[in-house]
Amino acid sequence: MNHPRRIRRLILLAALLGPCVAQAAGRPPALPESEIKAALVLNFARYVEWPAAALGGADAPYVICHMGQERLGAAFAALDGRMLKGRAVRVRVGVDPADARGCHLAFLADTPARGLMPVTRALATQGILTVSDLDGFIDAGGAIGIVPGEDRLQFEVNRDTLDRAGLTASSQLLKLARSLIGKGH
């Protein structure tokens, strides 16, 4: 019977041509996901207001704390030294969630052993903006979650968490969010 052979040849052809098609349809290389995420976090800090007491003196830096395994650590470290709203940005990588004093923003790269909820709650009580790309982050009490769209990144915001942390997000940020939860929407 010819059919199985013909089908096998077709599949082989498709597999061999695949790479060629890819090159031909070549799009300009998209930016690495890690760098986009780090850049998004920088922008979140730009559009969120911390209470004056949390910020310290006029020259005190914004402290961004990366928590968890090394995943995305390098991309965050690259933000160190940038200027944000007239202050410098300082990045601490591999911070323990229990040791978050001095952080303004915490990015959780990993699920803590105790689970997300106790950690997001504790960090919110300390007035820290919690951001992550973990699935279901804002449902677990996180403030901003980076979520995948079809082929780009989006974000969603938990307004109750922002309230609990004493933070204010600008209306511009909320408008760009794909979804909002909390505070009776």
Q: Contacts by 141-149 with C-beta closer than 8 Å and gap 24+? A: 141/116, 141/117, 142/108, 142/116, 143/167, 144/44, 146/37, 146/40, 147/178, 149/178
How far apart CA 64 and CA 41 sit, in angstroms, is: 9
How far apart CA 12 and CA 170 sit, in angstroms, is: 54
The nearest distance, CB 69 to another protein, in angstroms, is 5
Beta carbon nearer to another protein, 56 or 118:
118
Beta carbon nearer to another protein, 50 or 161:
161
The nearest distance, CB 171 to another protein, in angstroms, is 13
Nearest alpha carbon to residue 118 among 100, 94, 91? 100
Residue 5 tokens, joined: 């052979």
Beta carbon nearer to another protein, 51 or 148:
148
Beta carbon nearer to another protein, 2 or 52:
2
The nearest distance, CB 59 to another protein, in angstroms, is 21
The nearest distance, CB 64 to another protein, in angstroms, is 12
Beta carbon nearer to another protein, 14 or 56:
14
CA distances from 88 to 1, 20, 30 (A): 72, 46, 28
Residue 17 tokens, joined: 């041509």
The nearest distance, CB 24 to another protein, in angstroms, is 11
The nearest distance, CB 125 to another protein, in angstroms, is 10
Beta carbon nearer to another protein, 52 or 172:
172
Pairing mode, if any, of strands 179-181 and 168-169?
A: unpaired
